Structure formats: C-alpha cells, structure tokens
Structure 1
Amino acid sequence: MASRPRIKDVAEYAGVSPKTVSNVINDFEHVSEHTRAAVREAIDALGYRVNLAGRQLRQGRTGMITLAVPELDVAYFAELAKHVMAAADRHGRTVLLHQTGGVRERELAALHGFDAQFTDGVILSPLSLTPRDLATRDAHLPVVLLGERQAPGSADHVGIDNVAAAREATEHLLARGRRAIAVVGGAARGRQGTDGLRTEGYRSALRAAGAPVRQDLIVPVDAYHWQDGARAAAALLERRPRPDAFLCLNDHLALGALRALYEAGLRAPDDVDVTGFDDIEASRFSIPTLTTIAPDKRGIADTAVSLLIERIDQGRTDRGTTAPAPPAPPADRPDRAAPDGTAADHVVGHRLIVRESTGGCF
C-alpha cells in the first residue's frame, strides 16, 4: 500500500520548503500567489490531506466532545443527539456518545471528562447529580449542562422555560373547557427537576384560571417510558369521576396514555384530552396525532455546541492548565448571567403544537 503523502512530499513537488506548505495550508499571509498556486497544485496532484488528529494533539486537543444523556432509547435524547452531532460536524468536531442511565456515578464520570485525554469538553444532561457535584466540578474541563440547572454558576446551561411551557399547555386544556386535568409524571411541590418545574407551570395556570389544584391528580411515575404512561393513565381512568384531560410530561408518557384510553374503550379527544412534551417523531404518526410542546431541539444543540467550543477555544490551548473564561453571549441570545459571572443560563424557545389529541388537525 502506498504511503500517505506528507508535507515534505508536497514541498519537494512544489519546490518550496515544508514551512511554506504549512503557511499555505493555514492560509497565512505573506505568501505570493504564484507560490500559493504551486503548493495547491502539489496538494491536488499528490492527494495530500491535512492530518487533523495530529494538528489537534499539537494544540493540546483531541477534536472530540462528549454528549452524555440518560437514555438513548428515549426518542427525545436520540433526536437531540442527532442535532448535536450535526452541529459538532459543522465545527469540525467528533461526538462521543455516552449513556449514563441517570446513574450518579456515571454522570460524575462524564462531568469529569472520563479520561481527559479523550475529550475536550462535555455536554451533559444530568438526572442524579447534586448541586454540590456540579459546584465542585473540575473547572478546567469545559461543561455545558442540558435539562435543569441545579447549581447556578457552576457551568453554562441550555434549556427551555419548562414552567412557561407547561403553563401554556395547561392553558390550552383549560380553554377547551377541561377542569379535571391530571398530570402524568407530576412532582411534589418544591422539586427542582424538569418534572417539578413543569408541574409548577401546571399549578400556575390553574391558579390563574381560578381552578382548584387537586393533589390527587398529580401522579408521579417510576420512569418516563411508554409503559409508565399507560399504567398511570389506566389507574386514573378507573377513578370516578375520571379526569377529562392528561397533561403528560413527555411524549412517551402521552403515547402510553393514548394506549390506555384505547384499551378502556375511550378516545382522545372525545372523552379525554391528551398532551405531551418534546414533539418526538412518533407524536406526528400516532392515532390520534399528539398535541405536544415542541422544544427547539436544533436550537438547544447548536447553542450547546457553540458554547462548549467557545469555552474550549478560550481556555484550553494547553490542556488542563487554564480554567475556561466565560464567553460573552451574543446579543441575540436570551441569556441570564449567573450571580458570580462564571456561567449563564441560555433559554431556547418552544412552541405548543395542537394536533388531534386535543381537537386540532393532523
């Protein structure tokens, strides 16, 4: 097998020094157009390709970033991963995918970069990390958090306004005359995770409408899978009077709830309205199609990747020696700076998509 052409080979072919070839590759100034053309002709003739891995290692970087999420078989995370990989590719980065299972030890391993020689930074969606875990992380490793921020100032965070999104979905159900609205996947008051914030949005909408907040209609689940939604919805349907709407805190729960309605001989929206969260692809093909809150998944991915690369480029010219400096947020990004100025909360948009499960169109 022929050996891969090197800079030295290009230099000999073009009749210039290896340094000149390097200057042309890196688009440095002060190289004449005649010399630049000769080098480019040599590169094309020899089929030379820049060794990105070698360049990155010389810069103290791997060219890889890690995306750590709880479960890749949950459609939201799979779809988000697709967008993160596309965004990283546009920046010339490769993504290492890691599934934490929501287990604290695995999330801690991701938070500290596993073996730091393999990754330049981490995008992490944690479920089990404590505020102390996040506040005491290694400041030399750039980290962007997804989901819900647990420790303000610990790292940049990207997410939607879950309180506002759940309030909007609940207001839609109230506008349809629904009053016995059950929350599938709901949380007790004071909980700060995604479920807690979405449940608070639900409570807020009911209070604003003068409707009672019934604790018996706020139903927690063991996990956010299809079967958990089906079990919770089936139990709620046995109550008399039964709920007239389900606000499900993700689409998997909502699709499970639709199955429970079918098995009970009921229909959405004729008997019970059903809404979800996340706008996964299956929500557009269920029968009926599912009303849902659609987070801007591409916006989340693009923002997270851009932030992470800003941190890497600003603070890691020599791995492990300089803590990342906070990037200045672009003027068009709705950021809320943390009190200590070290990180910011980046809020990405969402929208309510009304489909057949609450009386909308296909």
Structure 2
Amino acid sequence: MRPRLKDVAERAGVSIKTVSNVVNGYPHVSADTRARVEAAIQQLQYRPNLSARSLRQGRSGVIALAVPDLAIPYFAELAKGVIAAADRRGWTVLIDQTEGDRAKERLVVSGIRAQLIDGLLFSPLALTAADLVGRSDRTPMVLLGERTGRDRAPYDHVAIDNVAAAKEATAHLIELGRRRIAAIGAQRTASGATARLRLRGYRQALSAAGLPEHAVAHVADFDRADGAAAMASLLAAPEPPDAVFCFNDTLALGALRTLLSRGLRVPEDVALVGFDDIEDGRYSTPTLSTVSPDKSQIAEVAADLLAARLSGRPAGPPQEIRAGHRFVPRESTLGR
C-alpha cells in the first residue's frame, strides 16, 4: 500500500500535523524533529498526494505562461526561469505560444483554460490596456514585458526599464568614441512597444551627447534574418555606421554575420551591441556586448506576485515592479 501521512508520523514518533508542517515547508519545526520526519519520509518513500491536496485547496497546482515566440531565445530562457520559480512553489507550468497574434492573445485572457490553471503569467504584444481592462475571466494574472505609460492595465506587471537600458547601451558606444551610431530593430506595428522604448533610449543617449541620429533600420521581426538584412542595408548607405545598437541579441547575431561576410572587423570597423544576454551571444565570435535583463528576478518576482493573488489574502492594488538589468561589455565592442 502507498504510505500515508499517518505512517510517516508513527515512524518519526510525531503527530500527523507535524509531518504536514514539514512536508509543506513551515519554518516553525525544530531541526531535530525535521530531521526525524525527513528520515521517515525517505525510509517509507512517502510522496504527497498532490491531486488530493489540490482538490482540498480548490486548486489545480498548474499555472500558465503565455509568451509570443519560444523560438526567440529570450523567451525560452525566461520560460526556464519561470519553471524553476514555479517548481519551488510546487506548481506545474503550462506554456502557451501566442506568436503575438491578437486572436490568440484574446484566447489566452478569455478564461477558456480557467478550469486547468490557477493563474497566468502573460507577455502580450497585440492586446491593449482596454482589452485587458475588459477581461471577464477572474483567473489571477501577472503581466510581463514592455508596456508604455499609456498602455497600463490594472494587473501586476514586471519589466525592466527598457529606455534606461537602451540609453546605457548606446552611451557605451559613444564612450568608445563612435560617432556614426545606427540602430536596428525599430517597428511601426502596434505591437512594437519593446522597439519603441528601446528606440527612445537610443535617441536620448545621442541627444545627451550632442550627436545626430545616424540611421535607424526597421524590421518586421526580432530574428537573425531581419538583423542580417538590416545590416546589409546600413552598409549600402553612402556613409556606413561605425557602431550599431541592435534591439535584441538575435538581430545582433544576424548583423554580425553580415559584417563578417563583408570582410569587416568587429569591433575595429563596426562595434556591435545587442540586448537580452542570450546564451548564444556568449559563444559567438566575437562574443556579444549586450544588455542583460535579470531574467531570474523577473521570473521570481512574477511568481511571488501571482502567489500573493492566489493566497486568498488581500493583496492590495496592482504593483508595477522594475526588475534589474546591467550592461555586459564583451568582444564586439572592446575587442579581444
């Protein structure tokens, strides 16, 4: 027979309540008692009945993470952090990919999966604040990613300061003596909030240094192919840039490929900066200077906010949390 809580209590010589406290991680258990209970759990190979626990609590133990595109390494790495944060809380994560499509994003927030999940972590691109305000589903939700000041909805929100981060990245290039600094990643679409914020930071840095905007390349997507094509168009101009700030690392990796294929040296001829600090950029040749958002902090804070909403206790008004970031200079700007 499957060992029960009662069997563990008898083996450890404690009450069932004490075993429950140890299993659920309550701190007010003496070290000696906790050790006896954990030894009994190990000896009996006791495993909590999570289905029964969820049924008693009226919860599924499952949360959802909805992101635009898992092929973009940033979102894959963020998902890894969310899964780790969820695992520490005994949650399972259901991952949804919206492709930034308005209809798919509306489906995510409509409550169609409300019976499956306890809460939702959501990084929207196409939906507006009005769409989210009008949401009828009551499943707790925390927003991730970039929302402009005009586009805030009444939900907890976790993001980095994209304007400040982009400004730091551009300032790094200015400090190196670069004067023809271009940008790759601007977008004209309604879903381009990330691009608009990073473009603002780029322009602020140039303005503060008294430099003109050299060139801004627009892209449809934040992928390698668009970065490569945008870099080719910049190099075809009468006066090519001597530095480029790309609005994410995959754009930068595509741009790097174009530069190297044209026989240009990075950073001697053109310095290059990305954004997101994805793993590929740490192993490219040259390695990629980049803005590093604290993805672990984003995941952990988002999980904390969701847990507070799930606790049943008054959680107060929605919170706007700024996660940390740092600029990481590497070979693509500093050389070897």
Quickly name the TM-score band, shorter chain normalised: 0.7 to 0.9
- Corresponding letter in the other structure for 1:133: D
Counterparts in 2 of 1:188 and 1:209: CA distance versus 1, 3 Å: farther
Partner deviation per Cα, 1:173-208 (whole Å, 9 max, x = no partner) = 111122221110124699971110000001111111
Which range moves more in the overlay, 46-55 or 298-307? 46-55
Which range moves more in the overlay, 267-276 or 247-256? 267-276
Aligned mates of 2:5, 2:206 — CA distance in 1: 68
Partner of 2:300: 302
Aligned mates of 2:75, 2:191 — CA distance in 1: 22
Question: Are 1:177 and 2:177 counterparts?
Answer: yes
Deviation at 1:241, TM superposition (A): 0.8
CA-based RMSD of the aligned residues comes to 2.9
Counterparts in 2 of 1:99 and 1:221: CA distance versus 1, 3 Å: same
Counterparts in 2 of 1:287 and 1:55: CA distance versus 1, 3 Å: same
Question: Are 1:119 and 2:117 counterparts?
Answer: yes
Counterparts in 2 of 1:138 and 1:259: CA distance versus 1, 3 Å: same
* TM score, norm. by length of structure 2: 0.87
Aligned mates of 1:283, 1:40 — CA distance in 2: 43
- Corresponding letter in the other structure for 2:326: R
Partner of 1:335: none
Partner SS state of residue 185, structure 1:
strand
Partner of 1:339: none
Partner of 1:326: 315
- Corresponding letter in the other structure for 1:156: D
Identity of aligned residues (%): 50
Partner deviation per Cα, 1:332-361 (whole Å, 9 max, x = no partner) = xxxxxxxxxx31210011111111111255
Aligned mates of 1:301, 1:203 — CA distance in 2: 29
Aligned mates of 1:42, 1:294 — CA distance in 2: 44
Q: How does 1:109-148 map to 2 (within 5 A)?
A: 109-138=107-136, 140-148=138-146
- Corresponding letter in the other structure for 2:94: L
Partner of 1:330: none
* TM score, norm. by length of structure 1: 0.81
| Contact 2:187–2:220 (Cα < 8 Å) also in 1 | no
Counterparts in 2 of 1:53 and 1:21: CA distance versus 1, 3 Å: farther
Deviation at 1:130, TM superposition (A): 1.4
Q: Which one of the candidate residues 20, 30, 38 is aligned to 1:26?
A: 20
- Corresponding letter in the other structure for 1:241: E
Deviation at 1:42, TM superposition (A): 8.0
Question: Are 1:213 and 2:213 counterparts?
Answer: yes
Structure 1, unaligned runs of 5 or more: 30-35, 316-324, 328-341
Q: Which one of the candidate residues 247, 250, 255 is aligned to 2:248?
A: 250
The higher radius of gyration belongs to 1
Aligned mates of 1:303, 1:37 — CA distance in 2: 30
Aligned mates of 1:222, 1:37 — CA distance in 2: 57
| Contact 2:281–2:288 (Cα < 8 Å) also in 1 | yes
Partner of 1:349: 324
Aligned mates of 1:258, 1:156 — CA distance in 2: 37
Count of matched residue positions in the alignment of Structure 1 and Structure 2 = 324
